[in-house]
């Protein structure tokens, strides 16, 4: 799912293309993409775009008269900028915003249709689409600590909960926790003041660094390769590969469709975190350290 750095770059690129241009047609290729009834699709024709915003992981097109189009990409949704007059393929296209200078196309990979469009009238109605997470850039150290400790969660859950913090998801939470040298399963109530301050500083530094990298990669072009698995990430999506800091093999915790990646050497003092599926299967044979894991692998090879 596109997260804060990806959505920020989307928003910046859309501002340069859309602000000051009027919508000529909103074309829906899949009726399930639209999750609202009022205002109508037809009422947006001819409206000028006066801004583009980000709400969490959502892209918001701001039209004249306090009319808004709220786009939630979910996991597999992606935005594309096409030249005017382009014929959009029906197979993967969910919708197209047509302007005189181009077409904003929304596609979604796979067969599940999770991406959504809400058409909204008025700032009060728009506020209903804000999950409530706070922006780590705008929080003071004390404010961040208060927010983090308000509920007792694991660090991974706290960072990725859109009701707690704004725009951080699975990928960048892995990178943040690795850079902060903190275990993803540490409870927020057990963090020292120094660890909380370090986490806050790392959140801002990592999100800023990744946003700048994505800006540099696309330049003046519209983003075309938005992915949660980037080659220069330290741990996310790098299971089994050496950590770029200490060289220890990156490990993972798999739960449902979500995977948490971490480095035992940098984050857990060499301890392996129990993967729910494997630890249930292996029970008392679950290796608790890197050395025990290597012994287990050797025994499996020799058997």
Per-residue pLDDT of the chain (303 residues; tens, 9 = 90+): 899 999 999 999 999 999 999 999 999 999 899 999 999 999 999 999 999 999 999 999 999 999 999 999 999 999 999 999 999 998 889 999 999 999 999 999 987 889 999 999 999 999 999 999 999 999 999 999 999 999 999 999 999 999 999 999 999 999 999 999 999 999 999 999 999 999 999 999 999 999 999 999 999 999 999 999 999 999 999 999 999 999 999 999 987 668 999 999 999 999 998 765 544 444 454 455 566 555 545 555 555
Strands ordered across the beta sheet of 116-121: 49-55, 58-63, 67-72, 116-121
185 plus 117 within the same structural domain: no
Domain count, the chain: 3
Q: How many other CB atoms sit within 10 Å of the CB of residue 285?
A: 11
Is position 228 within any domain? no
The answer to whether 63 and 50 have CB atoms below 8 angstroms apart is yes
Is position 226 within any domain? no
197 plus 105 within the same structural domain: no
The answer to whether 73 and 62 have CB atoms below 8 angstroms apart is no
Is position 224 within any domain? no
302 plus 250 within the same structural domain: yes
Give the per-residue pLDDT at 189: 95
96 plus 155 within the same structural domain: no
95 plus 10 within the same structural domain: yes
Chain centroid to CA 185: 19
189 plus 301 within the same structural domain: no
81 plus 184 within the same structural domain: no
Q: Which helix (H) or strand (E) holds 53?
A: strand 49-55
The answer to whether 273 and 183 have CB atoms below 8 angstroms apart is yes
Q: Is 90 exposed, middle or buried (0-12, 13-18, 19+ CB in 10 A)?
A: exposed
Give the per-residue pLDDT at 279: 47
Q: Domain boundary residue among 193, 219, 245? A: 219
Domain hosting 50: range is: 4-127
């Amino acid at each position: 799912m596109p997260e804060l750095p990806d959505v920020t770059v989307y928003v910046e690129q859309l501002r340069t293309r859309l602000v000051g241009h009027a919508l000529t047609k909103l074309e829906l290729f899949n009726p399930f993409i639209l999750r609202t009834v009022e205002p109508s699709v037809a009422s947006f024709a001819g409206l000028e775009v006066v801004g583009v915003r980000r709400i969490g992981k959502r892209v918001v097109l701001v039209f004249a008269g306090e009319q808004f189009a709220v786009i939630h990409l979910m996991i597999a949704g992606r935005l594309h900028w096409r030249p005017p007059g382009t014929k959009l393929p029906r197979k993967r296209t969910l919708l197209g915003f047509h302007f005189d200078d181009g077409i904003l196309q929304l596609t979604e990979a796979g067969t599940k249709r999770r991406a959504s469009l809400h058409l909204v009238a008025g700032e009060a109605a728009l506020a209903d689409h804000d999950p409530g997470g706070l922006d780590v850039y705008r929080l003071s150290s004390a404010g961040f600590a208060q927010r983090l400790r308000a509920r007792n969660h694991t660090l991974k859950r706290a960072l990725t909960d859109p009701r707690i913090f704004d725009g951080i998801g699975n990928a960048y939470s892995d990178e943040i926790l690795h850079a902060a040298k903190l275990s993803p399963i540490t409870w927020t109530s057990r963090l020292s003041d120094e660890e909380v301050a370090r986490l806050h500083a790392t959140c801002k530094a990592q999100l800023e660094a990744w946003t700048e990298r994505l800006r540099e990669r696309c330049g003046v072009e519209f983003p075309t390769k938005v992915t949660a698995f980037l080659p220069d990430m330290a741990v996310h999506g790098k299971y089994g590969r050496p950590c770029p800091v200490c060289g220890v093999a990156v490990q993972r915790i798999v739960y449902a469709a979500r995977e948490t990646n971490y480095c035992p050497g940098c984050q857990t003092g060499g301890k392996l975190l129990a993967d729910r599926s494997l630890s249930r299967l292996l029970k008392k044979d679950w290796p608790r350290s890197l050395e025990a894991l290597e012994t287990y692998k050797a025994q499996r090879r020799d058997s």
